[in-house]
Every structure is written in structure tokens, then in C-alpha cells.
Amino acid sequence: MNKIFLLFIGILLSGNLLADKKINICTDNNFWYPFTLVKEDVPAGIHVDIIGKALNNLGYQPNFKALPWKRCLDQAKQGEFDAVATASYNDERASFMYYPDDATSASKSSHRVMQVEYVVVTSASNDYEFDGNLQSLPAPIRAPRGYSIAEDLKKEGLDVDDKASGDENNIKKLLRNNKGSVVTIPEVVNMLSKQPTYSGKLKISSKPIKSKSYFIPFSKASNIAREEQQAIWNEIAKVRDDADFMSNTASKY
């Protein structure tokens, strides 16, 4: 009888421990293909898969929720979410979220989820080619609302139109006005270009404008201990460097 009772108590305690290891993560509800997107009302994408795999390996239960980007950041700041999937580093975000130690010192952090390149997109009728001179970018320069790349360009003294949410809305504005440029990731443009609406109408400059590490930063209001955060970043690096996993994950998108 005592053995059965102790076994029962053990099961209850282990269940409670697992429940305590749930991590609530918000992600952008925009189409940031193939890294974060919403598929049949469920957060998906390569970044989500990497993070989910790492957390499962460590015994956590990830709970992803897609939100408008600024709301995701605001709610992480308030502690309504433990972490964000995914965000590059900037000083404002670091005021309310923890990043890996090398987030500011390395151009490619060892604890990144992935490295992402940004490119300049113009209409196909425009013969502009980015040569590294930011001041040459065709105006208006469009970037999504709340994205760090918009702030990066503003710091260079550029006039950036960041009123629209999401890359596709900016590309629609580019084609409608037939002038200016969009700063985004090439994967989004390549995917959209498969659709008749965009096919043959967009041009990507071959030289990237910027390369950034993207992370799962943790809210400073979260109960996830700093030691746990570091263990999660370490596991993410292992998953990211698993060639078989990455190949299988990429093939889904």
C-alpha cells in the first residue's frame, strides 16, 4: 500500500513539475517566410520549429501565440509572455528582455536562432542596384512597422516609411506607386514572386543591406531563471547546427 501511495505521489509531483515548465512565447503574425508565419491559425516557420525542438529536448512545453508584432513586444514587456520568437537585438528591447551575452559583440552570435539577411527590393522596371551606399536607396524607403531594420535605417539619417505592418503590404505599396524601395528578406520576395500578382514585377539587389542574428529573448518579468535561459540558448545552438533537422525543417516550407 505504501509503495502504491508513494508511486501515486511521484506521478503527481512529476506532472506538476512539467506543468511548471510551460513557456509562453509570442511571435509575429505577419508573413515573415520561412522564419515565422501563421499556418492554419497556428504559429509556424523554421524559427518556431528550432525553438520548439530545443524546448522539447529540455522537457519544456512551448506555447506559441501569434500577435501583431508591437503587441507581442508590449505584452512580453509586461510579463504576459516569457519570451519572443524571434527578435534581433536593439537597446530598447534589451531594456525589458534578456539576450545572450554575445548579442552585441558578435556579428553572428553563437546563440542565435538563425542569421537573417536583409536586401533592397525595387520594381522590375527600375534599374537600381544597391552598391552599399545607403544614401542611394530609392525613396520612399519602406520597412515594416515595429521592425528593428526600420530603426537601423532611421539612425543612418534616412527617411523611412514604416507605417505599414508586414512586408507584403509594403510590396503592394511599391508596385502601386511604382517608385521607391522595400527593405526586407529575400525569402519573402521569392515566395511572393511565385504568385501571379507579383511574378516578374520585383527586383532584388544582389548585395545585402544588412545581416542580423535573431534570438529568442526572454522577458525580464518572466519567472524563467537566467540559468534556464542560458541552457535554452545552448540547446538552440545545437538544434540549429543539426544538419539533418534543419534540412527536414526547411523542406516543410
The pTM of this model reads: 0.84
pLDDT at 20: 57
pLDDT at 106: 80
For residue 200, what are the contacts with CB-CB under 8 A and spacing of at least 6? 124, 193
Chain region(s) in the chain for CATH 3.40.190.10 = 17-110+215-251, 114-211
CA dist 240 to 45, 47, 87, 100, 231, Å?
A: 13, 9, 16, 15, 14
pLDDT at 148: 92
Instruction: State the fold for domain 17-110+215-251.
Output: D-Maltodextrin-Binding Protein; domain 2 (3.40.190)
The correct answer on CATH 3.40.50.2020 for the domain covering 114-211 is no
Q: What is the pLDDT along the chain (253 residues), one digit of tens a residue?
A: 444 433 333 433 344 444 459 999 999 999 999 999 999 999 999 999 999 999 999 999 999 999 999 999 999 999 999 999 999 999 999 999 999 999 998 889 999 999 999 999 999 999 999 999 999 999 999 999 999 999 999 999 999 999 999 999 999 999 999 999 999 999 999 999 999 999 999 999 999 999 999 999 999 999 999 999 999 999 999 999 999 999 999 999 9
pLDDT at 221: 98
CA atoms lying within 13 Å on the CB side of residue 178: 2
pLDDT at 7: 38
